[in-house]
């Protein structure tokens, strides 16, 4: 299994993902990180992590991440979604959830589950 983690966030959750990444830099820095375009840019600007940027969500970045799941390149996906006010241009978690389930890759959609995934990676 690859040593890569994907980070995705809906617009209203990007600040939460940045804080999450800042709080978990010691774990995340051990992995190659990828993210959709805007999320990746914000993470690069606001953390000490190096994040490889895919296309923006509306331009297919989530599908690029899905392809990496299929190719067994991802250890985990953290997709902080906004369940109440997500905009039509934002990526849909359902396709990523499906491909993660097919390939047995953990996917977190909220901070509590994201914490649990990273906690489990501490011992590797």
Binding-site residues for substrate, in ranges, read 10, 14, 36-39, 56-57, 89
**Residues in Cβ contact with 36 at an 8 Å cutoff, skipping those fewer than 6 apart:** 8, 53, 54, 55, 56, 57, 61, 62, 65, 91
Q: Which two tokens stand for residue 34?
A: 């990828």
User: Which residue, chain included where needed, has tokens 């006010």?
Assistant: 85
Catalytic residue, from 11, 15, 16, 62: name it. 62
> C-alpha distances in angstroms, 55 versus 33, 64, 88?
14, 8, 17
How many degrees, rounded to 5, is the angle at CA 79 between CA 21 and CA 17? 25
Output the known binding site.
10, 14, 36-39, 56-57, 89
Is 62 an active-site residue? yes
Provide the annotated active-site residues. Answer: 62
């Amino acid at each position: 299994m690859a040593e890569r983690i994907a980070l995705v966030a809906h617009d209203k959750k990007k600040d939460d993902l940045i804080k999450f990444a800042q709080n978990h830099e010691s774990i995340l820095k051990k992995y190659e990180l990828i993210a959709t375009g805007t999320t990746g840019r914000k993470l690069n600007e606001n953390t000490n992590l190096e994040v490889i940027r895919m296309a923006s969500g509306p331009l297919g970045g989530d599908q690029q991440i899905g392809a990496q799941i299929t190719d067994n390149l991802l250890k985990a996906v953290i997709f902080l979604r906004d369940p109440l006010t997500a905009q039509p241009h934002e990526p849909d978690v359902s396709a990523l959830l499906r491909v993660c389930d097919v390939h047995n890759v953990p996917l977190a959609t909220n901070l509590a589950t994201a914490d649990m995934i990273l906690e489990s990676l501490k011992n590797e």
